[in-house]
């Protein structure tokens, strides 16, 4: 956990009492992802993206990011993935990941640049964009017959909370948890970014060749954005639950992919925004 937190001191005010006390912060640092692509006799290296993340499980994050961006379809598309040893500054050594694509893996850097520019400049707007993202999803969730009970759903948050070591000390980090339909926790990850925590979950699953993640439940902290639904859909996850509310585009995309989307999961209540047929009050 030491790589994920930073020690500091704060001036704490509690009513009339004031004092300086030690504290812990969730660490946030940039991670640069580099791609090596091309034929065996003409390899090209490209700086692909920089994401602000909490250090830890960086290779999972990089692989999950490449998958959810549609750059790779499985771990088989990757020849090698590692922290980069060639950096300009020593402190960058643990903050750069190099991913070598297999020579047979297609990669169009110009198309990727255009997609990143569109996403950063104007976002995703309108029905046509929803449909284009749905087409890009890797697996068909429409025929997934997963069923989950109220009892299982209501137990998800407490289960993940017990694994949040960094949150326990800092109170400033998000989490994602992957469950089976009986509510057993398979995997959890923490990060300052909700999307990073999910990419780490997906990346870890890709390393184990467990994608598509059918018959699985994903829990995310905070609200549900379009981006989180998109990532979950690409990985074939049928049920997505969140502590907070979803956005309108998140609901639209979940409907397009026949996902079950749950929000405001707190204490003994939750809302089902779509895919209610997968949610039952008790076992059949």
Kind plus residue range of the DSSP H or E element containing 97: strand 96-101
Cβ count within 10 A of residue 281: 7
Residue 53 lies inside a defined structural domain of this protein: no
In a domain, 6, yes or no: no
Query: Can you tell me the mean pLDDT for 84-92?
Result: 74
Q: Mean of the per-residue pLDDT values for the chain? A: 88
Q: Tens digits of per-residue pLDDT, 102-112?
A: 999 999 887 67
Active-site residue, 122 included: yes
First to last CA, the chain: 42
Q: Is residue 254 part of a domain?
A: yes
Structure confidence at residue 159 (pLDDT): 93
Query: In sequence order, what DSSP letters do the residues of 151-166 get, joined into one string?
Result: HHHHHHHHHHHTT-HH
Mean pLDDT of 244-269: 96
Domain carrying residue 139: 126-280
**130: domain CATH number?**
3.40.140.10
For residue 92, being part of any structural domain is answered with: no
Q: In which band, very low, low, confident or very high, does the pLDDT at 37 lie, cut at 50, 70 and 90?
A: very high
Domain count, the chain: 1
Looking at residue 13, what is its pLDDT? 95
Residue 209 located in a structural domain: yes
Give me 234's structure tokens.
């690409």
- Residue 98 forms part of a structural domain: no
pLDDT of residue 138: 64
- Rg of the chain over all Cα atoms, to the nearest angstrom: 20
pLDDT tens digits along 62-87: 999 999 999 999 999 999 999 988 77
- Name the percent of the chain lying above pLDDT 70: 86
Is the confidence at residue 236, as pLDDT, over 60?
yes
Tell the residue number behind the tokens 């004031």, with chain if given.
18
Catalytic: which of 84, 122, 137, 274? 122
pLDDT in tens, 178-216: 999 999 999 999 999 999 999 999 999 999 999 999 999
The answer to whether residue 240 sits within a structural domain is yes
The verdict on residue 220 lying in a domain is yes
Better pLDDT: 222 or 163: 222
Whole-angstrom Cα distance, residue 251 to residue 77? 31
Q: pTM to 2 decimals?
A: 0.89
- What's the pLDDT at 67? 95
């Amino acid at each position: 956990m030491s790589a994920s937190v930073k020690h500091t001191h704060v001036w704490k005010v509690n009513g009339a009492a004031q004092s300086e006390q030690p504290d812990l912060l969730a660490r946030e640092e940039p991670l640069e992802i580099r791609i090596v692509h091309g034929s065996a006799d003409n390899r090209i290296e490209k700086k692909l993206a920089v994401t602000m993340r909490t250090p830890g499980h960086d290779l999972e994050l990089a692989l999950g990011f490449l998958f959810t961006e549609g750059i790779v379809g499985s771990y088989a598309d990757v020849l090698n993935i590692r922290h980069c040893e060639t950096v300009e500054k020593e402190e960058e050594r643990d903050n750069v990941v190099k991913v070598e694509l297999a020579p047979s893996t297609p990669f169009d850097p110009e198309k990727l640049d255009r997609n990143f520019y569109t996403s950063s400049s104007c976002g995703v707007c309108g029905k046509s964009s929803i449909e284009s993202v749905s087409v890009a999803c890797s697996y068909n969730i429409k025929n997934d017959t997963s069923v989950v009970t109220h009892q299982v759903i209501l137990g998800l948050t407490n289960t993940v909370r017990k694994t949040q070591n960094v949150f326990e000390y800092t109170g400033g980090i998000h989490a994602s948890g992957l469950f089976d339909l009986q509510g057993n926790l398979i995997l959890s990850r923490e990060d300052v970014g909700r999307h990073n925590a999910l990419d780490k979950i997906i990346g870890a699953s890709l390393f184990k060749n467990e994608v598509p993640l059918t018959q699985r439940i994903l829990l995310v902290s905070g609200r549900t954005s379009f981006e989180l639904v998109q990532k979950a859909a690409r990985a074939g996850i049928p049920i997505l639950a969140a502590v907070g509310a979803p956005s309108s585009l998140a609901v639209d995309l979940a409907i397009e992919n026949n996902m079950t989307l749950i929000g405001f999961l707190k204490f003994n209540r939750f809302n089902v925004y779509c895919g209610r047929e997968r949610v039952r009050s008790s076992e059949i």
